[in-house]
Amino acid sequence: MLVSASEMLKKAKEGKYAVGQFNINNLEWTKAILLTAQENNSPVILGVSEGAGKYMCGYHTVVGMVKGAMQDLNITVPVALHLDHGSYEGAKKVIEAGFSSVMFDGSHYGIEENVEKTKEIIRLAKEKGLSVEAEVGSIGGEEDGVVGAGEVADPAECQRIAELGVDMLAAGIGNIHGKYPANWKGLNFDVLAEIQKRTGTMPLVLHGGTGIPAEMIQKAISLGVSKINVNTECQLSFQEATRKYIEAGKDLEGKGFDPRKLLAPGFEAIKVTVKEKMELFGSVNKA
Ligand SMILES: [Zn+2]
């Protein structure tokens, strides 16, 4: 059964660790992440971007696939199915389709419009028991064509959005989606500390978890980050393993062309990456 992310993040906050959000793209991603969570007795959040949701046929397909996989694989650890960077319309759609958690990203609106739209999504989500993530300020890099400048959020605006009753808050602290540039300045811990001071016990979300050094991740957790999003890193692991398989000519040997063989190394590589992140975030044995 899917659960909202509310309880698992409260526990993470108290226990000073973070729950990983791993984005899914298809059955291989879903199965790899669910199995790794179960094997490590870790809570997990499955992230779905609007683009990935569309790619997988739509949100109803995603809900059916994830629920079916959990039943067939006997997954008993807490799993939340969460819309990543949802638009106003997209957020409404997943609430109807049966997701257990939703991010409404109103960070590209002015603060007043962000507040109004976030309030409406909270109202609709709470009727069905979903947890809600909101975002303040722009986060750098690119995700599904949304470009940010690597901006840093205004702690006062963070406080305003947090007080609306969201379950978790994403705020830019110099993090970037995708690969980090060589001249990246690192996370802004002063702003992170200020945001947490103003938002009390609100679980904070760190987007763009791929390529942030381990020490910075641990420091961010110590300052109040309870959810860390990982997307690109699983894609890179899958790509590298698949490339190796094909370059070694294994797809040409015997039945190496069978998709169950062709996709197996990438599947195993995702599992390794997810396990490493769960260990780094401290969520192992916290289910
Ligand atoms: Zn993000």
Per-residue pLDDT of 241-276, as tens digits, reads 999 999 999 999 999 999 999 999 999 999 999 999
Q: Is 84 a catalytic residue?
A: yes
d(CA 12, CA 10): 5
> Average per-residue pLDDT in the chain?
94
Catalytic position from the list 84, 154, 251, 258: 84
Residue 147 has pLDDT above 50, yes or no: no
Q: What is the CA(34)–ligand 1 centre distance, in A?
A: 21
The length of the chain is: 287
236 C-alpha to center of ligand 1: Å? 17
**Domains contained in the chain, CATH given:** 6-281 (3.20.20.70)
Q: How big is the CA angle at 59 (ends 121 and 72), to the nearest 5 degrees? A: 120
Residue 126 Cα to ligand 1 midpoint, Å, equals 22
Residues with CB under 5 A from ligand 1 (ion): 207
User: DSSP alpha helices (H): ranges in 155-263?
Assistant: 155-162, 189-199, 214-222, 232-247, 259-262
In the reported structure, the alpha carbon of residue 271 is separated from the centroid of ligand 1 by a whole-number distance in angstroms of: 21
pLDDT in tens, 83-132: 999 999 999 999 999 999 999 999 989 899 999 999 999 999 999 999 99
pLDDT range class, residue 200, cuts 50, 70, 90: very high
* In the predicted structure, residue 144 carries a pLDDT above the cut 70: no
DSSP 52-114: HHHHTT-HHHHHHHHHHHHHHTT--S-EEEEEEEE-HHHHHHHHHHT-SEEEE--TTS-HHHH
Question: Residue 200 Cα, ligand 1 centroid: separation in angstroms?
Answer: 22
Dist. CA 174 → ligand 1 center (Å): 12
Task: Please check whether residue 82 is in contact with residue 133, taking contact to mean a CB–CB distance below 8 angstroms.
Answer: yes
- Rounded Cα gap, residues 70 and 147, in angstroms: 34
* Main-chain phi, psi angles of 51, to 5 degrees: -65, -45
